[in-house]
Amino acid sequence: MAIHGARGRSGGRPTLEEVAARAGVGRGTVSRVINGSPRVSDATRAAVEAAVAELGYVPNTAARALAANRTDAIALVVPEPETRFFAEPYFSDMLKGVGAELSDTEMQLLLIFAGSDRERQRLAQYLAAHRVDGVLLVSVHADDPLPDLLAQLEIPAVISGPRSAAETLTSVDSDNYGGARSAVEHLLARGRRTIAHITGRQDVYGAQRRVDGYRAALRDSGHEVDERLIEPGDFTEGGGRRAMAALLDRCPHLDAVFAASDVTAAGARQALRDAGRRIPDDVALVGYDDSAIARHMDPPLTSVRQPIEEMGRAMIDLLLTEIADRRPTVSRDLERRQLVLATELVPRTSS
């Protein structure tokens, strides 16, 4: 942990040159050892490593960045205010995966919030200065200009949750379609016949896919899709409550509800209670996200779990590949990479 040994004449930190002198080799050779090049004999490598240890040499990042034109840093950009970042476990889980995958790398992770216009401005400057080798983008809205800025600056980037089926950036997503399917299939398997769906905001691609999955599950099991059973929500509790009330009004005979998020389900539950319907006796309820809310709801809520941590890991993998790819060759034929990870239904007593 401690830095030991003698220093260069100036009292500052040792340089490559000093290590080279100590090991009795040239500058280039030390550089090769430091960077793990295979073109060094074992004896030389050992000598250099000894000199590095004796002097407590640590490479100067700035010099390296200047000479090699890379920063060895990537940014996790959160286009939200800090508050939401801390409030939602989504980010914390993702950060855990990202951190884990990065931990055996030399890469440094920067966390950048871009909630306000001011922060956006700063971020743009930051990216223009190419202060990171790549960017991880989470929770981006459909009309966000950030992805385009990144493309224009030719900065490698990976987005979690593509903006549409035609997303141009490399993306990682969970299987919203399959997740929704499994929720509906679960309800069908439990004998439910009239299954309603409260959707998420339809300008979010993932929410659209959940509707698609809902439809497909019904059709594939020979049921007809009744459009009156699909009610728009907005991922909020209030939205869930209102949507549920509307559904009960329109189709009082429904016996199950698939909500596009746990928070939405919480709102729906309230409306169901107000209408005197028991869960799951009268109406079965399934949510999405498998958040803390689901576990603590009364009754505990069946929900679809997304592998957020794994998504974080995958994003790093893809980003590092992308960064590595663009280094030697000029071939820009990087085909679109879109990774979709499986979800998992977590059954609880609400269904």
Residues in the interface with its own copies (CB under 8 A) total 43
Q: Which of the stretches 23-31, 145-153, 193-201, 316-324 binds its own copies when contact is defined by CB under 8 A?
A: 145-153
Q: Is 60 in the site for DNA (CB under 7 A)?
A: yes
Q: How far is the CB of 54 from DNA (least distance, A)?
A: 15
Q: Is 92 in the site for its own copies (CB under 8 A)?
A: yes
Nearer to DNA, 39 or 253 (CB): 39
Nearer to DNA, 28 or 145 (CB): 28
Q: Are 309 and 93 in contact (CB under 8 A)?
A: yes
Total residue count of the chain as it appears in this document: 351
Q: How far is the CB of 96 from its own copies (least distance, A)?
A: 6
Q: Is 222 in the site for DNA (CB under 7 A)?
A: no
Q: Taking the C-alpha atoms of 77, 82, 88 and 91 in order, what is their torsion angle to the nearest 10 degrees?
A: 30
Tokens 């743009």, residue located? 124
Pick from 230, 234, 240: nearest CA to 269: 240
CA–CA gap between residue 203 and residue 142 (Å, rounded): 6
Q: Are 306 and 343 in contact (CB under 8 A)?
A: yes
Q: Which of the stretches 84-92, 188-196, 245-253, 280-288 binds its own copies when contact is defined by CB under 8 A?
A: 84-92
CA–CA gap between residue 331 and residue 343 (Å, rounded): 35
Token pair listed for 219: 């059709």
Q: Is 326 in the site for DNA (CB under 7 A)?
A: no
Q: Is 121 in the site for its own copies (CB under 8 A)?
A: yes
State whether the Cα torsion 131-132-133-137 is positive or negative: negative
Q: Is 150 in the site for DNA (CB under 7 A)?
A: no
How many helices (H) does the chain have, and how many strands (E)? 14, 12
Q: Is 35 in the site for its own copies (CB under 8 A)?
A: no
Q: Which of the choices its own copies, DNA, none does residue 321 contact, using the CB cut-off of 5 to 8 A by kind?
A: none
334 secondary structure, DSSP code: -
Which residue among 44, 108, 270, 321 contacts its own copies (CB under 8 A)? 108
Q: List the x/- string, 152-191, binding to its own copies by CB under 8 A.
A: xx--------------------------------------
Q: How far is the CB of 131 from DNA (least distance, A)?
A: 12
Q: Is 17 in the site for its own copies (CB under 8 A)?
A: no
CA 199 vs. chain centroid, Å, equals 22
What DSSP letter does each residue of 36-76 carry, written as one string?
A: T-S-S-HHHHHHHHHHHHHHT----HHHHHHHHT--SEEEE
Residues in 17-46 at the binding interface with DNA, rule: CB under 7 A:
17, 24-29, 31-32, 34-35, 38-41, 43-45
218: left (phi over 0), alpha (psi -120 to 50) or beta: alpha
CA–CA gap between residue 84 and residue 230 (Å, rounded): 29
State whether the Cα torsion 112-114-115-118 is positive or negative: positive
Where on the chain is the footprint of its own copies (CB under 8 A)?
A: 1-3, 13, 56, 58-63, 65-66, 71, 82-83, 86, 89, 92, 95-96, 99, 103, 108, 110-111, 113, 118-122, 124-126, 128-131, 145, 149, 152-153
Contacting positions for DNA (CB under 7 A): 12-13, 15-17, 24-29, 31-32, 34-35, 38-41, 43-45, 57, 59-60, 63-64, 66-69
